Amino acid sequence: MPSDEIILLRIRNWKRFQHYKGRNPPWIKLYNSLLDDYEFQALTELTQRHAFHLMLLASNTGNRIPFDPTWVAKRINARSKVDMVVLITCGFLEGYNNDAKIMLAERFHTATPIRLETDKIRDRLEPPIPPRGGMDGFEEFWKIYPKRVGKKAAEKSWKRITGVPKEKIIQAIKAQVEGDHFRGTDGGLYELNPATWLNQGRWEDEIRKPQEEPKPKSVQELIEERRKVRAREEAENAS
C-alpha cells in the first residue's frame, strides 16, 4: 500500500450529535458533554480550536476529512499546524471506515506512537501525586518521631526549614530511631522534643550503630561453666 495514500478520517459520534437532513448546514451543535470529556479537555486550547473548526469542515464534507494536515490547515484558515495525530489520539478523529483504520495502523506500524502522545498529554495535565504524609511530608515525620509532643511548634519549625530536601530529614529520623539514637548509655530514653530536634538540625547527627545483644552461649559452654563452678566449690570445701 503506498505510504502517500490519503487516509479518510471522520469525527467520532458525528451522526449521534449532528442531526442534519441535508448537506452544508449553516450551523453545528455543541454539547456540554465536551466539558466532561477528559481526553478532549487535555488538549491545548489551540488544538481544541482546531477541533471546532474541523466540525465546521465536517458539516460541509459529509464528515469525510483527509488525513492531510496541510490541506486541512488551508481549509479551516489555520495559521498554525493542525496536529491531527493528537486529535486521533484523544479519540476526536477516527478512521472513516475499517480500511482507513487499518491504513492508520500501518502508517504508524503500531498504536504505540499515538498512545505515547496521549500519555504525554495526561502527564502534563494531571496533578502530581502528593508525597505520603501530605504535600510537605510533615505528617510522615510526625508519625516516625518517637516523642510526639508540641505538634504545632514542630510544624512551624518544619516549615521554616529551607534548602534541605524534606525526604532527607525523614530518612534521617528513620535511621536514628532504628539505630537507638534516642537511647542513653544506661538504656533510658532522652528524646528531644521534635521542634528542638528540627531547630538544631539534628538530622545531620552521626547515626549511632545499634547495640549488639550478647550472643547466647552454647550448651557446651554452659556445661563447661558449670564444671568450673563445681570444681571451685569442691576446692573451697576441701580447704
- Predicted pLDDT at 158: 94
- Predicted pLDDT at 124: 46
Boundary of a domain, candidates 125, 160, 192: 125
Asked if 75 and 178 sit in the same domain, the reply is no
Most confident of 18-22, 59-63, 215-219: 59-63
Boundary of a domain, candidates 97, 125, 153: 125
**Do the domain assignments include residue 130?**
no
**Do the domain assignments include residue 58?**
yes
- Predicted pLDDT at 61: 84
Cβ atoms within 10 Å, residue 230: 10
**Do the domain assignments include residue 228?**
no
**Do the domain assignments include residue 231?**
no
What confidence tier does 234 reach under pLDDT thresholds 50, 70, 90? confident
Asked if 108 and 149 sit in the same domain, the reply is no
Asked if 147 and 102 sit in the same domain, the reply is no
**Do the domain assignments include residue 237?**
no
Asked if 73 and 173 sit in the same domain, the reply is no
What is residue 49's three-state secondary structure? helix
Asked if 142 and 92 sit in the same domain, the reply is no
Mean pLDDT across 67-89: 87
**Do the domain assignments include residue 1?**
no
In terms of pLDDT, which residue wins out, 82 or 124?
82
pTM of structure: 0.42
Asked if 60 and 158 sit in the same domain, the reply is no
Asked if 109 and 158 sit in the same domain, the reply is no
**Do the domain assignments include residue 52?**
yes
Grid cell locating 141: 515525620
What confidence tier does 37 reach under pLDDT thresholds 50, 70, 90? confident
Asked if 112 and 146 sit in the same domain, the reply is no
Structural domain total, the chain: 2
Asked if 100 and 151 sit in the same domain, the reply is no
Mean pLDDT across 200-220: 73
145-173 pLDDT per residue, tens: 888 889 999 999 999 998 889 899 999 88
CA atoms within a 13 Å half-sphere pointing along the CA-CB vector of 188 = 3
- Predicted pLDDT at 113: 38
Mean pLDDT, the chain, whole residue set: 75
Asked if 121 and 142 sit in the same domain, the reply is no
Residue 65 forms beta bridges with which residues? 9
C-alpha distances out from residue 35 to 38, 166, 197, 199, Å: 8, 38, 50, 48
Most confident of 29-33, 45-49, 156-160: 156-160
Boundary of a domain, candidates 93, 125, 157: 125
**Do the domain assignments include residue 234?**
no
What is d(CA 151, CA 4) in angstroms, rounded to the nearest whole number?
68
H or E segment and range at residue 65: strand 65-66
Supply the range of the domain harboring residue 195: 138-204
Asked if 144 and 185 sit in the same domain, the reply is yes
Asked if 100 and 192 sit in the same domain, the reply is no
